[in-house]
Homo-oligomer: A and B are copies of this chain.
Amino acid sequence: MKILILLLATLFLSACDDNKQPAKVQQSTQTYTLTLAESWPSNFPVFGDATKNFKQLAESMSNGRLKIQIDSKNKHKSAFGIFDFVKSGQYDLGHSGSYYWKGKDINTLFFTTMPFGMTTSEQRAWFEYGGGQELMDKVYAKHGMKSIIGGSTGNQMGGWFQKEINSIEDLQGLKMRIPGFAGEIMAEVGAKPINIPAGELYTALDRGTIDALEWVGPSLDLRMGFHKIASYYYTGWHEPGAELQFLINLQKYNTLPKDLQKILVSAMKLSAYQMYTHSEHESAKNWASMKKDYPNIKVRTFPKPVFEALKKANDTLLKELAEKNALAKEIIESQTSYLKKIRAWTAISDQAYLNSQSE
């Protein structure tokens, strides 16, 4: 009997001695299922690929201790419900755009992209090294959430227009689908921003219900087919580096072991960085395809006086925003001064290089 006890004890020790050898670590084996609600329909290109990439990264790095269950809009039925879903804990995580929540908290407006603002790489420098994340944390902590960069579309195109815009007068009364803050700027200079559901945009542009619309850029515009019916493709100004967001319910986050917290946030950041890379690839590929099939697409940029008017309207609206609350003022000032500093560098690096190499 002594031998049996000894045998069992040895077995016990040899199977469970993880803490006794210096080459092993204590390791929780508990699994955690986190639900994620995204604003996009099922299998939405680029944006939806980013959440799938995040899921794959988080699950494989955690050896299955994290399970991510993604519900698309088809399931939860509310593209613009993500903020409330995650705040209330109905979902643990979200993937959406911060500027959708300006009606709930005006300070969420600043963390996607701002008209005449930073490009993707400039804004990421602001987020990660220029105080942007800390300001975003301040805004979202009030709602019991954390927001992490969620992937950039890159520089969004100014949109598809049926007529050329040669002066600010050409914008008077122009019926254009352009939502959000950029829509407010357009309204300031006399255009008529109209909100139309995505599924009806093609017909609206084709039948002249609207004169122009902005969507994203070639990465997502190709499948919408606007290039088949519009004459002009305008370069961007209103969303120079649209960065999506991941949302995390902080109460849920705090229940995770430290290593899973780190895996969760790192998987979000890596999939965000990779989404921009993916988006640039898709835009390059789709723009080549559009030009091949429709060689008459005319690319145009608004003339200087049009930009000056739009910028004046932008400055007026920003001034109003800065007066709303002290944190809004702090964010606007941080973005304005950072943009000034980093654009001076962009001007002598990428911009100078690209210009020196163009025809």
Contacts and interface: CB of A to CB of B under 8 A. Distances in A.
Nearest to A122: B280
A158 to B, nearest CB: 9
A162 interface: no
A341 B24 contact: no
A207 B33 CA distance: 66
A5 B6 CA distance: 10
Interface stretch (A37-45, A55-63, A174-182, A187-195): A55-63
A351 B355 CA distance: 8
Contacts of A302: 356
Nearest to A123: B277
A198 interface: no
Given A12-B11, A270-B273, A288-B341, A237 B125 contact: no
Interface string A58-74: 00111111000000000
Interface in A240-255: 240
Contact of A31 (B23, B63, B236, B274): B23
Contacts of A338: 284
Copies in the complex: 2
A285 B5 contact: no
Contacts of A65: 25, 27
A60 B258 contact: yes
A357 B316 CA distance: 18
Q: Which of A116, A155, A348 has the most CB of B within 10 A?
A: A348
B348 A278 contact: no
A294 interface: no
A329 interface: no
Contacts of A157: 348-349
Nearest to A235: B352
A354 B346 contact: yes
A154 interface: yes
Interface in A320-351: 338, 341-351
Interface in A272-319: 273-274, 276-278, 280-281, 283-285, 287-288, 291, 299, 301-302, 307
Interface of A: 1, 4-5, 8-9, 11-12, 15-16, 18, 23-31, 57, 60-65, 116, 119-122, 124-125, 128-130, 154-155, 157, 217-218, 233, 235-237, 240, 257-259, 262-263, 266-267, 269-270, 273-274, 276-278, 280-281, 283-285, 287-288, 291, 299, 301-302, 307, 338, 341-358
Q: Which 8 A-B pairs have the closest CB atoms?
A: A63-B259, A129-B281, A235-B352, A155-B349, A273-B273, A284-B342, A125-B281, A284-B345
